[in-house]
Structures are given as structure tokens and as C-alpha cells.
Structure 1
Amino acid sequence: MLERWIVLTKKAATMETEAGNNDAFERMCAELRRMAFTLRCDVLPELLKRRITARALTSLWLNDEVVELLNARLLTTLLRAQQPRLTRMTLQQLVQLYFRRFDRLDEKEGLRELLERSLLQQLDLIPPSKIQTSRADPLVTLKREGHWLLSLDGPRHLAERVRQGGRELGETFIELGLHGFDDGRYGDICRAHFYLETLRHLPLGDSDPVLDELLKPSVAKAPFEGARRIGHVALEILIDRAGQEAGEVWQNFILNLAGDPRISSSAVNFREWWQPLGEERIQKVRGWLSKEDLRLFLQAVEQYGLETANMEMQRMFPARKRFLEGLFKLKLIRNTRLLLGGKAQQSVKRILGKDVKTSFARMDGPMNDKAVIYLDCGDFHLVEGSHSFKIWVYLAAPGETLRTYERNTFSHQDLTTTVPGTYKKLYPGLPYDAFVHTPHAWQNKVFTFLAENGIALDVEQLLSAEDYRLQLRKFGIPAVSAKRTVVPAPAKEWAKAVARAPTAAQQGTEHAAALPSRNADVPTPPRRSADVSVAANGAVSSSAVASGRDNPVLQRTKLPPFSSLQLAALRYLETHPRCGFYALLEAVSNQGGNVLNVKTMLESSLSQYVQQDEEGKWLLSTHGEQLVAELVRSEPPDASQSVSSAANANASANAGSRVARLEPFALAVLRYFAANPGDKVRYAANVLEVDARLVNQALYGPLKGICTQDDKYGWQLTGVAQRELEAFEAEGREQ
């Protein structure tokens, strides 16, 4: 009996799916395909008033991705044409499309949010069902639960509910009437949330098939919450759970997913994956990778000795290896920086091949065949080279040159002249030294230097048993001074100069990181005068003008009695002729402008001063141009820039308040559209080297209300946001 019931249920579902697929339906699908391929769609708006056209179009959207008819404009046209509401079948096909494509809908200029909003509106219009069935109705479920199920965070909320109830995801989809809806992007993201739960309970350092799943870009880049992605949360879980060492499996997963965090903070990969994790996690991973740096350095040293048949280096290698690895075992090494010359890079890559995942700086000139490692050991700092290079010992960090990842190229002069010179200027009189690697003696010189400055080391851990016995016999153990050398605060003026002055390499990095502008000749906005304003009656007042022989009183000119809103509109049209209504509305919003009063103003009180062109764009009429010219003549010099927006003072008061709170990626998107107003999302995605949906998520998330979209789907900053960004950038330059 049960088997027969299952067969009948499947038949009913099949009949429901095939309903409406008659000859007329197929002919309409063929016609829509023809329109898509010929791009002749002039009759489509009229056709969309027919129910069969709506069914055919949504069916093509759902089942034929080759047909490029899915966009925000056509969706809006469909919804307007189908009154009073969509049929159940058409609506259900749209719901299936939403679940199948989900966040990838954002590849089409913010389509996901529009479809989500439209579905919720259409679901509200569905009348209550008069027939009770044993199967849950997906539309009824979404009418009741759609406010959270259809949101961008819907998969996360659903996964949490299923997990809390101890249920299976597929079982829950069936109970909700959404059977088959989990075969698309929405279901994939739900499963990704379950993967995260596996990570939370995975034994430390263990491997699991889930790790391979999370490395897939489609999973790692799936949305989690806000601007955070599944990959971000996976990284946070593993980094937070791991101790001082992550273990090879977890460390490789982290590097394969996010790359090495020891790169410039302006690099796309750093902004995309590491910046959202926070400085504490970044430093923790950098600490883990110090061991990898050490391994690569020692590999380069050993290989050079073998390739050059340098017997002296080969004899010295075990002692240097024991010394450096001993520092690591004593947990003295906090951070490292690996520098490789071109030949040294080739040697390391030839031996280790794809195993090399860490980032390193490059050296040129005489350093081409060498490897150098910088070691931050807390109480002291070392710079050690592979060969023909002394070991340098400092009692404090020798400036930021070796510590910052903004710089990626070094020379012999940098390491032997510039770095020590910076140290001496930062810490006048503070000791430092450099020692040649004389066999058996160089370690003692390092131990003695540190001991004289009150720093004790466990010498036995840094030497082989044989070398330790030799050390005792030949030098003894250096006496540690009872008086520790005090490391002063860096000299303030020099520290500021070092922080302000970028090196040549930094300048190159900053130039490369600057967002390219497709409009290279962007004029610098004129400086606004804070002391000039326009009174409500249109007269110009100036608190900056005082009487006197060298500063005569400006003559006030009586102007027509315009409000600040009217003047702001006229000024904007003077500098932005043929602008759209909503661009003008945004420009005057700080003067109290809204859709109703601006539209009324243009059509009544300003009607003789403004006009519309054949495309409906607004510009000044001849009378308007004459009026604005008269306004300019009656104002003091440079007042026109001030008067153009009386809201500038208000904007300056809150300058940067929103911009300063943005995450690095959102800020990068904001800067792009500031430099390229009117560009579409795909241009920004190409320049920023990310998926278009990530740009859309930023625009509809943290940048909502900061950026606006024009009628051609281009994006630009609002007037207020542009000023906030300018103030934010200016403040950053001053600090």
C-alpha cells in the first residue's frame, strides 16, 4: 500500500511539472529564444501581459541558461505586466530559480535582492489555499517563512535550525515542501554550514574530506553573514582551535585557501582573506610560518654548499642548523622574514617544487645567490645570511624595513648599511654588533654580546653535544650581566620620519595598489570656503570679509528670493547639465529635498529656469543660465564653489564617520567607484580581481546608501559620501 502511494505521489508531481507544456507553450519558448538570439525584443513587453509568455520566460530562466534574457529590467517588466499577480506555476518557477542560483544572481547587477523582494511581494498576494493536501506547499511555506528563508543569511539560519533540532537537511527540505529545491546553490551553502560544524569538532590537526570540500572556490566564497564568507569562518575556526602549532594538515589547508598572510596589506589576496580575520589571528599564523621560513632558509644554505661543493660551508651547516632550530625549540622566535636571491629561489623551488607555499622577499645584485632570514626573538633580533654574510645582532627591532610586508625587495646595502643606520638613529647609543662565521667562535660571540647586555640563553640547547663540550673547554659559559641594558623608546622625530617616508619599494607597492581609473584625468575638487554661505533669501553673506584699506567690504547684491533648496538645484544643474532626476535629487537631499518637493519645484517655481531634453534629462534653460551667471557676478571670488552645496559644512562635521567603519574590501569598492563614477559592477570586479557577486554584496550591504545606481546600472558615490571619502583620505594623509 505504501509503495503504491509513493508511485501516485511521484505521478502527481510529474503531472504538476508538465502542466502547461502544450504546443502553444513550446511555440512561445521558441519565440523567446529567437528574440534572445536576434536581440529584437520590441514586442516582448506586450507579449508579457499573457500568462503563457510569463510561464515560458520563467521556464527558460530556470532551465536554459544559454538564453540571456535574465536581467533586472526584464524581471521588473514581467512583474508589472502580470497583474494583479503571477500565476502559481510562474511564481513557483521563479522560486526554484532563486534557490538554484541564489548568490550567483548577483552576477547580474544586484538581481538577487530584486528577486528576493519581488518574491516576498508576490507571496503576500497569494490567497489562502482552500484544499488541504498531505504534501507541504512550497509557496505556503515561503509565504509564512520567506522573510528569513529567502534572505542572504537564509542558508545559515536554516542550517542552524536543522542542527539544533537534530534533523537531516534533506529531510527538512521535504517537510517544508521544498523537495528538490536543495539541488542548487542555496542547498550547497546550507551544506557548507554543516561542514563548518564538522570543523568545530574535528580532532586537533586531523584530516577530513570536509577540508577538501571547503577548498572548492564555490564553497569557500559562499556567503556566510554580511560580507563574511564560508571560507572566512573555516579559517577562524581552525586558527582559534589550534595552539602554538597548527600541524601540517591544518596549516596546509589554511595556506591553500587564503595564501601566506605575510604579504602587503594592499594585496588583493590579503584584503580578501586575511584582513577580515583580524590582526590577532594574522599574527598567530605568521608565528606558525616562522618554522617554515626557517626550514626554507636552511634548505637554501645546505643546497648552496652542495651545489658549489663548498666543503667549508658543508662543515658549518650542522652548527648553524642546530643554532637556529634551537632558538625555535626554546620558543624565542616570535616572527621571521625570509629573503631569497634569484638563484636561491630557484634552488629552493627546484628541490621543494609545489611544497613552497610561503611568501618571501627578494634580493638582487650581490645577494642574488644568498638567503637571509630576519628573526624577531623578543629581547633581541638577528639577521642571518647563508654565506659571505655576517650574523647581525640587535637589542631592538632595527626599524620597520624588515618587519613590514609592504616592502618586498632588498639589496646588500639595505641590510648592511641602511638597516644598521636606522637602528642607530632610532636608538642612539644602544649596542649592536655583527660577527663573521668563524668556526666555533661565532656562536660564542653572539652568546657573549647578549650576556653583556643582560640576556641569558640556554647555550646547551643551541649547540651540538660536541660543540657544547668544545665551548666549555675553549670559552666557558659567558657571565650574564646583572644589569640589563635598557632599550629606550625610539627617538620620536626619527621614528615619525621613518613612518612617513616610504621607500622606493613601498612607493612601487602603493602605486600598484592604487585603484586604476578608466577616466585618468579626474580633476581635483575645488577647495571649499567654510566662511561663505547663501542666505535663505539668496543674498550672499561672508564672515571672512572685514573692512579696512586692504580689505574693502564686499557689496551685497540683492538676488531673487530663492530657498537654499532651489539654489542648490540650480547650482547642481549648472555643473551637471543633462543629469537624471534621481542624481539631482541625491545632490539636493541635504537641503530637505525629497521626490515630491523636488519634482514639484522643477515643474512650478523653477519651471522657467530649467528644462528637459529629449531623453528626459534636466538642464538649465536660457533664463536659468542667465540667472546663475548673475548669481556668480554678485558673489565674492571663490564663493561659487561654496554655494554649490550649502550642505558641505554639515557633511564635513560627520566626514568619514561611515567610511572609517568600512571593512577593507568595501573601502576598495568605494574607492573604485569614486575614481570611476558610472562604471558597472563587472568593470570593478575585473580591476579588483574578484567575482562580480562580491562587489554586488558590498554595494547592497555595507555600501548601501553610500553608493547609488543610475538608470543605466552604473554606480557612483552620493554627494555626501564623496565628501566623506575625501575627508577620510585627507585625514589619513595627515596622520
Structure 2
Amino acid sequence: MKLRLPLSPALPAWQPADTLAWATTTKRAATITQRVGQGRDFLALVTEIRRLVESGALAHLDEMLEERRAAARALLHVWQHDERLAQRSLDGDRVRRLLRHQNPRPTYLTTTGLAAVLLKYFDELDSWTPGLFDEVSTATARAVQSQKTRNAAHDLVATMRSEPRLYLDRQGPDRLAERLVAQNLSLSDHVRRTGLLGFDDGRYGERVRQAFYLTRIRRADHTTSGHEVLTEVAAKSVKNSLSATAGRLFGHDLLVALTDRTSGTPSDEWLQAVIDIGGDPRLRHTPDWSTWWQRLPRELVDRVTTWLSAEDLRLFLMAVENFGRQERVSDLQRLFPPRKKFLWGLYDSGLVKETRLILGTNVRNSVVRQVGRLRTDAAKLENMPNTAIIFVDCGDFHIVEGSHHFKMWLYAGRPVPLLTDRSKQRFTGDDLRYTVPVAHSQSHPLGYNAHDEVTHNGFWQRRALEFLIEKHGFPVEPRAVLSPEDYATLKHKFGLPVRRTMRRR
């Protein structure tokens, strides 16, 4: 009887648990391979060498290296598994002595042991003793080159011999990452294929993973979504690992790579990754600021602040538009486009330095239902649950704009501390309508003439532009903040405001 089998049998897809189990099994097999030849006598020798290093009897240790060939592999085992003892006894002279008495050549296991030590400590070696990396790397290269050619698969020694610049050089991790990303290859597949599995838990493996992440980020389009790497790098274990740059964490390198973009607005996914790693850079009173943002160049911090300003504007305008639509407030719906154009016009003109949201309870809940968790800092507005406020800092002037019947407040000069203090997380309507104007008039040389309040009735933009341009000489371009129709109305019916000589305050 003949059975007709399907040409392409349908096999069930591997589940995450299956993949994890297979990876664990593979790694266990690699560990077992490394332990070949570690019998009772070898372990006794390891114990003796540990005792010599602990007691500081390094001269006796050197004698043992000259007399017993197996002592080299035992010492390498100690170095690989005990960083404290490695720091006490690992130096260039001892590495050379270790190999010198391996006649006619070091064994394969001794060679892999030396390679394991290099890969484990890698860029940390020079922090122990200047030049130690070169000593260990050179010794490893000689040992690798001395080995006979093997036909075994997944051979670390053969891998190092074929491409020493990728594994025995300080820049090897960066070169390897560039190649893998350029060829769209998996890092985990490469580790298994080249015999690095089981040797990738140290600093070399960490450096490769870090370079792999950074290379993928630098090649990614920050204005689009769908980058899996962004979820991976936000993990605490990744961002809190040591950077290749002394005195920094890898999270600092990630933030630099993520924010070093001079054009285009980042996608929500990209901006979320920045916040997940470093937090909101405007919250200077928080531990996140001192841990992450304080150590980065000011221009990068300012760039993220600008990105978050766009987010604040988007959320504020969403709140205003939604309320007008849901509550069927015709005036609010009619006035929404001019408000949106005015605020985005300031942003697109490069005038907005920083923003801050202040949201009533109902508005906050409405926004959260639509966008999920707020990634931006938003203070609470008490006793006005349906109102949204945004503070817009434009450097030489600032604006406090609100939804509903809240007026637009225009201020010349710098804002009072009440607005800029991010540790203040609660405001009332009276704070913004009375306390702030009074405090500003008391601190500004022009007193009450340094601010104005504009009701959103009729052609309200005209009064706002007259205050900003004619009265105080701020560089606001009417065409940028008005629709083409409103610009034509201003120009032909009222005349464009004439900019006065700016008086800095």
C-alpha cells in the first residue's frame, strides 16, 4: 500500500518557550565542551593555584608554570572564573611565561582558555594595567596561529584565526556589528555558528551586543515605526550595563544615538524609547536627570525638549478639538483651526524652546484613553476638570494658552518660577489668571505693560501679533502663524504689524 504524503508538510510554528529551551540546551552543550579534561587531578591543581594567588605566592606560581604544563590551563581557568584573582595575578610577563613552556605549542584547550580570558575581560584589561589588552591579545593571536587546522564545526580557534580583526582587536566588536547589520544577519546565529556560544557572556560579548544595538539605531529612520531594537534597548539590563566609554553607562550611548538627529520629527515609538531610557529631560529635580541627561551634551537635551514640546502641543490640541466635538461647542470648533495654526506656526518657526501641559481631570482621562500612558510631564489643573492649559516658552516671550473660555496670556521676557518649576505639579485657575500675571508685572521693568490677555473672539490673532511684533519687537512672522485667508485679511484690511526695535528683558 502506498501512502500519498503532502509535498510540504505543515509544521507548527515554534513557540517562544521552545526557542528559549533550545537556546538553553545549546549553551549547556557549549559549557560542557569547555569542561572537557577537567578531571579530579585538574581540579586539585586549580585549587592549588587559587591558594598560591590568594596568598600572594606568585613566584611559586611562576615556578609551577615552568614545571607543569597543565598548570597553564589551570591558571587560565582561575582567571576566567574569578575576576578578583585575575586582577591580582594576570599580567603580560605571566601570560608570556605561561605560553613559553607549552612545547612545542600550547594545547587546544590552553588556547581556548586564553581566548576565553581575553573575551571575558576585553576592554577592562587596560583598566587593571595599562597595555594589558595588547599583551593578552597578542599572546592569544600567537596561540591561535600555532594550532593545527581542525575540521570541527563551530570552532572558536578557527574563527579567531580566520578573522583576527573581529575578535582580537579593540575595534573588533564595532566591525562585527557593522558587518552583521549591513548583511542583515542575526547576532545570535553568528554566535552559534562561529563557536562564540559560551564565550559571549563577558565584556567582548557585551561590546558586540552594544555595538549591534547602536549600529541598528544609527541606520534606522527615526521618523518611522516598527523598529524592534527600540523595545530591546529600553530594558534596564541593557541601559544600565557599562559603556565602552569610561565613566558612562550604555544608556548614555543609546540616548546619544537616538537623539543625534538634526531633521524630522521622531515617531511616537522612537520618542517613547528615549523617555523609557532617560525619562523626561525637563524634570531636572528627578534622579533620572542626574543619572542620564546631566551627562549628555546640552544640544541633545534641548533637542529632546523640543521633541516633547511637539508632543505637548499635539496633546493640548487633541484635548481642545475633542471637547469641542464631543460637547458640540460650535464656537470652540470654529476657533480650533486658528489656534492650531498659531501654536504650530510658532513651533515650526523654531521659536518654541519648551512647553508644559496643565490638564484638568476629565481632559487628562480623555487624552489617556486615546493615547495610553502619557509620556510627557503634565501637571494637574484643580477645580477645572474640563480645561486644558499649555505653557509655551519661546525664549524672549512666553504664552499661557487654554481651552474653553480661558484666554491667551502673552508675556514679554522670561516666565516667573511658578510656571517653570517642574516640581510644582498642581495648579488652580487663579494661579494662572491672577498670581502669574501679578508676579510677572512685579519682576518685569514694564510692569503690567509686559503682558496682555487675548479673548478668542473675532480676529483675535491681530491683537496677539500687535503685542508680540509692534509693541515688543519679537521675531514672529505673521504668515507662519496665520492661515492664508487670515493673513490676507490682516494684510489688506488692517495692515501688517510693523516690528519695533526689540527691547530685551
Fold match (TM-score > 0.5): yes
Within 1, Cα distance between the matches of 2:287 and 2:56? Answer: 44
Q: Is the partner of 1:479 in helix, strand or coil?
A: coil
Counterpart of 1:375 (choices 379, 385, 392) is 392
Match of residue 236 from structure 2: 217
Counterpart of 1:97 (choices 70, 78, 81) is 81
1:280–1:472 distance in 2 versus 1, CA, 3 Å: closer
TM-superposition CA deviations, 1:578-606 (whole Å, max 9, x none): xxxxxxxxxxxxxxxxxxxxxxxxxxxxx
Count, aligned residues? 415
Match of residue 90 from structure 2: 120
Match of residue 207 from structure 2: 189
1:152–1:458 distance in 2 versus 1, CA, 3 Å: same
Match of residue 572 from structure 1: none
1:157–1:352 distance in 2 versus 1, CA, 3 Å: farther
How many angstroms does 1:119 deviate by? 5.2
How many angstroms does 1:476 deviate by? 1.4
1:173–1:463 distance in 2 versus 1, CA, 3 Å: closer
Q: Is the partner of 1:480 in helix, strand or coil?
A: coil
TM-superposition CA deviations, 1:159-204 (whole Å, max 9, x none): 5145469988999999x99874125565133321243244445456
1:238–1:273 distance in 2 versus 1, CA, 3 Å: same
2:97 is aligned with 1:80: no
- Residue type matched to 2:470 in 1? E
Match of residue 47 from structure 2: 54
The 5-angstrom pairing of residues 480-519 of structure 1 reads 480-481=498-499, 483-488=500-505
Within 2, Cα distance between the matches of 1:294 and 1:416? Answer: 21
2:276 is aligned with 1:271: no
Match of residue 352 from structure 1: 371
1:292–1:151 distance in 2 versus 1, CA, 3 Å: same
Within 1, Cα distance between the matches of 2:221 and 2:317? Answer: 31
- Residue type matched to 2:340 in 1? K
Q: Is the 8 A contact 1:159 1:194 kept in 2?
A: no
TM-superposition CA deviations, 1:549-593 (whole Å, max 9, x none): xxxxxxxxxxxxxxxxxxxxxxxxxxxxxxxxxxxxxxxxxxxxx
Within 2, Cα distance between the matches of 1:156 and 1:375? Answer: 52
TM-superposition CA deviations, 1:699-718 (whole Å, max 9, x none): xxxxxxxxxxxxxxxxxxxx
How many angstroms does 1:145 deviate by? 10
TM-superposition CA deviations, 1:349-368 (whole Å, max 9, x none): 012114x311222222x334
Within 1, Cα distance between the matches of 2:503 and 2:206? Answer: 58
Q: Is the partner of 1:389 in helix, strand or coil?
A: coil
1:52–1:382 distance in 2 versus 1, CA, 3 Å: same
Match of residue 316 from structure 2: 297
Match of residue 286 from structure 1: 305
Query: Which of the two has higher C-alpha Rg?
Result: 1
Within 1, Cα distance between the matches of 2:57 and 2:77? Answer: 15
Within 1, Cα distance between the matches of 2:221 and 2:331? Answer: 46
Within 2, Cα distance between the matches of 1:420 and 1:157? Answer: 65
Within 2, Cα distance between the matches of 1:156 and 1:403? Answer: 51
Q: Is the 8 A contact 1:339 1:362 kept in 2?
A: yes
Q: Is the 8 A contact 2:454 2:463 kept in 1?
A: no
2:332 is aligned with 1:313: yes
Match of residue 249 from structure 2: 229
How many angstroms does 1:223 deviate by? 0.7
Q: Is the 8 A contact 1:289 1:358 kept in 2?
A: yes
Deviating more after overlay: 388-397 vs 146-155: 146-155
Match of residue 125 from structure 2: 151
Counterpart of 1:130 (choices 80, 103, 124) is 103
Q: Is the partner of 2:368 in helix, strand or coil?
A: helix
Counterpart of 2:497 (choices 479, 504, 507) is 479
Q: Is the 8 A contact 1:319 1:464 kept in 2?
A: yes
* RMSD value, Cα: 4.4
Q: Is the 8 A contact 1:398 1:420 kept in 2?
A: no
Match of residue 239 from structure 1: 259
Q: Is the 8 A contact 1:455 1:480 kept in 2?
A: no
Match of residue 425 from structure 1: 442
Q: Is the 8 A contact 2:173 2:204 kept in 1?
A: no
Q: Is the 8 A contact 1:51 1:82 kept in 2?
A: no
How many angstroms does 1:260 deviate by? 2.0
- Residue type matched to 1:333 in 2? V
Q: Is the partner of 1:137 in helix, strand or coil?
A: helix
2:171 is aligned with 1:160: yes
Counterpart of 1:384 (choices 401, 404, 420) is 401
How many angstroms does 1:459 deviate by? 3.0
TM-superposition CA deviations, 1:273-330 (whole Å, max 9, x none): 2122133321121012211110011111122233434333223222212221222233
How many angstroms does 1:205 deviate by? 4.2
1:390–1:148 distance in 2 versus 1, CA, 3 Å: same
- Residue type matched to 1:389 in 2? F
How many angstroms does 1:470 deviate by? 5.2
- Residue type matched to 2:322 in 1? Q
TM-superposition CA deviations, 1:435-490 (whole Å, max 9, x none): 353432322211222233134643344333454455567x5134315x425234xx
The 5-angstrom pairing of residues 427-446 of structure 1 reads 427-430=444-447, 431-446=449-464
Within 2, Cα distance between the matches of 1:156 and 1:275? Answer: 34
Within 2, Cα distance between the matches of 1:126 and 1:270? Answer: 48
Counterpart of 1:415 (choices 408, 420, 432) is 432
Within 2, Cα distance between the matches of 1:156 and 1:204? Answer: 31
Q: Is the partner of 2:494 in helix, strand or coil?
A: coil
Match of residue 632 from structure 1: none
Q: Is the 8 A contact 1:239 1:246 kept in 2?
A: no
Within 2, Cα distance between the matches of 1:294 and 1:203? Answer: 23
Within 2, Cα distance between the matches of 1:287 and 1:346? Answer: 25
- Residue type matched to 1:283 in 2? D
2:466 is aligned with 1:448: yes
1:96–1:242 distance in 2 versus 1, CA, 3 Å: farther
Within 1, Cα distance between the matches of 2:251 and 2:365? Answer: 32
Q: Is the 8 A contact 2:418 2:436 kept in 1?
A: yes
How many angstroms does 1:97 deviate by? 3.4
1:16–1:141 distance in 2 versus 1, CA, 3 Å: closer
- Residue type matched to 1:79 in 2? E
How many angstroms does 1:347 deviate by? 1.4
Within 2, Cα distance between the matches of 1:133 and 1:371? Answer: 74
Q: TM-score by structure 1 length?
A: 0.49
Q: Is the 8 A contact 2:470 2:498 kept in 1?
A: yes
Within 2, Cα distance between the matches of 1:278 and 1:160? Answer: 24
The 5-angstrom pairing of residues 517-556 of structure 1 reads none
Q: Is the 8 A contact 1:138 1:178 kept in 2?
A: no
Which sections of structure 2, spanning at least 5 residues, go unmatched? 1-28, 65-70, 128-132, 134-165, 181-186
Match of residue 253 from structure 1: 273
How many angstroms does 1:338 deviate by? 1.6
Q: Is the 8 A contact 1:440 1:471 kept in 2?
A: no
1:141–1:77 distance in 2 versus 1, CA, 3 Å: closer
Within 2, Cα distance between the matches of 1:226 and 1:476? Answer: 62
- Residue type matched to 1:117 in 2? Q
Within 2, Cα distance between the matches of 1:145 and 1:345? Answer: 51
Q: Is the 8 A contact 2:233 2:239 kept in 1?
A: yes
How many angstroms does 1:132 deviate by? 0.9
Q: Is the partner of 1:388 in helix, strand or coil?
A: coil
Within 2, Cα distance between the matches of 1:448 and 1:232? Answer: 44
